[in-house]
A and B are shown apart, each in its own frame.
Chain A
Amino acid sequence: MALRSGVSFLRFHALRSSSRLLSTHTRPEVQQNGKKIAEFPGAKAPYVTEMKILNETSYEPIPIYRVLDNNGDVLINSEEPHLDKEVLLNMYRSMVQLNQMDKILYESQRQGRISFYMTNYGEEGMHLGSAAALTPQDLVFAQYREVGVLLYRGMTMTELVNQCYGNHEDPGKGRHMPVHYGSKQHNIVTISSPLATQMPQAVGAAYAFKRTPNNDRCVICYFGEGAASEGDAFAAFNFAATLECPVILFCRNNGYAISTPSSEQYRGDGIAARGPSMGIHTIRVDGTDTLAVYNAVTKAREMALQNKPVLIEAMSYRVGHHSTSDDSTAYRSLEEIQKWTTDENPVQKFRLYLERKGLWNEEAENTLVKDSRNFIVRTMQEAEKKKKPHWKEMFEDVYYDKPFQLQKQMQEMEEHLKKYGEHYPLDSFQKE
């Protein structure tokens, strides 16, 4: 060991001597950086001589914006949005319809009439607050728990129920699981099950809008705090910021990703904290406060149209189970759920607000609930009677033009069914 060090020392010494022979300077001339601010390509920041370690407590928690208190009273008058009576009532009616639809379709899954369902309880304020702040031309990329947005934009209960039944009037032609809605007409891109995949897609769509002359459209992308853990979420934030896209990234932080509480999903100050760190304008809002969400999305839309992407983190609570495949009492207490169905109930808050304004009363409520329920039950009974699409629809839309192989396979199935048709549920499907 000693010998090896000696040899390297000698080598080093020889090298230095030879460089001295080649150069008149022993040290290179350096320009002292007189400025206090470093100018690295990756960061322009002050130099300090004291090491600075930051953590989640280095910053104040990002505050949560709200307009209403739990009694539906406006906290500060200047923050009350000036919405038409009809708009307010439309928002509220959509909430009630959504609740009734959830109740009945959830039950219908329990009775084996549809294969799957997901409710929206506790998140109605985020749906209607955001939907009302958008124009029908804005493009929606949803996750799967934003049905209030769909209803407000004009998707009919009938379309939604038909989708859940996968009958021949389902716009998705029976190919997708229930609750995976979509409507070209209403600018709602069909929902996909994998999480966060819609996020970079939304940013790409926004970039296309940006390149349209006189663009007046933005994209809104809904996602959960669980989905925000996917790699695609980071990609979306980063692309939105660097490519300056007219997009609103709307996080519904409802506290749970199936059974995983947000405390195990992330550390730090939630999803909102990621916004400023990535150069995105960010608002954190009380998602149970419909008017606060409305204001946040209105502001975000304004900024997005100036090609400033905005991240909104709406705080809420998933009151229902994740889906009909889940029993959330396996991982959370009934007391915990209770708090969010009473004090912090977004529908109740909004209803109280409308009542204070003299726009709503008990009688109107009862009529609406009854009418909504009857309509959904009737729609469901009708949907149930409708045949499923022709089995050949299975082979359509894989490609724009059916390739040879698929034509051959469809023919093979046709011949098979001619011979063995009695083994297949052909009666429940449309005939040619």
Chain B
Amino acid sequence: MSSHFTFFPDEHKPIEGDTTKMNMMQAINNAMDITLKTDSSAVLFGEDVAFGGVFRCALGLQEKYGNDRVFNTPLCEQGIAGFGIGLATAGATAIAEIQFADYIFPAFDQLVNEAAKCRYRSGGQFDCGGLTVRAPCGAVGHGGLYHSQSPEAFFSHAPGLKVVVPRGPISAKGLLLSCLKERDPCVFLEPKILYRAAAEEVPTASYEIPLGKAQVLKEGDAATLIGWGTQVHVLLEVAQTAQETLGISCEVIDLMSILPWDEETVCNSVKKTGRCLVAHEAPLTSGFGAELAATVQSECFLHLEAPVARVTGWDAPFPHVFEPFYLPDKMRCLSALEKLIHY
């Protein structure tokens, strides 16, 4: 089954030094390996994690660090989240894996009502910043209703959580290491189609990519294209095609952090280009694009040449055989960009 995007490897490295070719699964494995090695309080757990997890991100880590640090839990997402909050409350670093983001909803109560509000409700006495919940998300070509969802917007509505989505091996390693050191609980959503999609030369040493900061991947002046995760690659291709066919240069931003998000980078870019297109796989209504559009129109109103465009999944559950028609693919983004330019 062919995928709906072309992977654009990162052009520059976050730090100098040795690199190793890794796919995103290996980069995540590497980040967890570093944490387990350097932080003796760190534990990694979830359903089927002992043998490496269904996407193999934890491969070899139980052999390396023992079954008291890398282990299977019973099949219970609310349990995994609550257990992780408890570990973090007691000062440990908890790396919790939810098998699919689609299955994170039993943990919603623990994450939204407990993890997010832990510091606030205790007047700053307690926190569970040591918790990072990892979950594979997004379209994969054949995942259907329950192996394809992108639930970032649900969690973006929970003050106290940090929500992060990497776009490839280099960003995954740096962002995950930041989450693991972060003093607030993090939800780390891994676009599963990228696990094995392509490899990058990933720095071997430990490095962190700051949370709450977006990255401008391509500079341009005609329009600002904003995405995260897999969608970044769709937008990079859109920018490339727009250059070739429309002769325009687009700025492409990877938001990376959904909550809190980098308003400054986004608004500075939109003020420069005057046009903004946001694209995400999750449905349109109350998708995170809505938040971006609202802020952009209030902060950049006088600079805008056209209303903010949103290209997203439709307001329907994620369908199996209709996936090619559901996704905010290259052609839908291009078409929206063209309208944006000729508004």
Chain A: residues with CB nearer than 8 A to chain B? Answer: 112, 115-116, 166, 174-177, 180, 192-195, 226-227, 229-232, 257-260, 264-266, 325-326, 330-331, 388-389, 391, 393-395, 398, 403, 405-406, 409-410, 413, 416-417, 419-420, 423-425
Contacts and interface: CB of A to CB of B under 8 A. Distances in A.
A113 B112 CA distance: 41
A405 B314 CA distance: 10
A389 B325 CA distance: 12
**Top-7 shortest CB links A-B:** A193-B146, A115-B142, A177-B144, A229-B74, A174-B321, A166-B321, A394-B322
A232 B316 CA distance: 25
B127 interface: no
Nearest to A413: B325
Interface of B: 1, 47-48, 50-52, 54, 72, 74-79, 102-103, 105-106, 141-147, 284-285, 314-317, 319-322, 324-326, 329-332, 335
B315 A194 contact: no
Contacts of B325: 391, 394, 413, 417, 424
A413 B314 contact: yes
A226 B75 contact: yes
A254 to B, nearest CB: 13
Contacts of B317: 175, 398
B319 A174 contact: yes
A193 B147 CA distance: 9
A330 B76 CA distance: 22
A175 B144 contact: yes
Contact of A177 (B48, B51, B146, B322): B146
B76 A231 contact: yes
Nearest to A396: B316
Given A176-B145, A229-B76, A398-B316, A416 B331 contact: yes
Contacts of A398: 315-317
Contacts, number: 131
A393 B317 CA distance: 12
A258 B284 contact: no
Given A331-B51, A395-B314, A420 B335 contact: yes
A14 to B, nearest CB: 35
A424 B322 contact: no
Contacts of B141: 115
B314 A115 contact: no
Contacts of B103: 194-195
B66 to A, nearest CB: 15
A326 B53 CA distance: 11
A175 B322 contact: yes
B321 A420 contact: no
A261 to B, nearest CB: 9
Given A194-B146, A395-B314, 19 more contacts: A112-B1, A174-B321, A193-B146, A194-B103, A229-B75, A229-B76, A258-B48, A330-B52, A388-B322, A403-B315, A405-B284, A405-B315, A406-B314, A409-B284, A409-B314, A409-B315, A413-B314, A413-B325, A420-B331
A408 to B, nearest CB: 10
20 contacts: A115-B320, A174-B321, A175-B322, A176-B320, A177-B144, A226-B75, A229-B76, A230-B75, A264-B74, A265-B74, A326-B54, A388-B321, A388-B322, A393-B322, A394-B319, A395-B314, A395-B316, A409-B284, A416-B331, A423-B329
A324 to B, nearest CB: 11
Contacts of B54: 258, 325-326
Contact of A175 (B72, B320, B335): B320
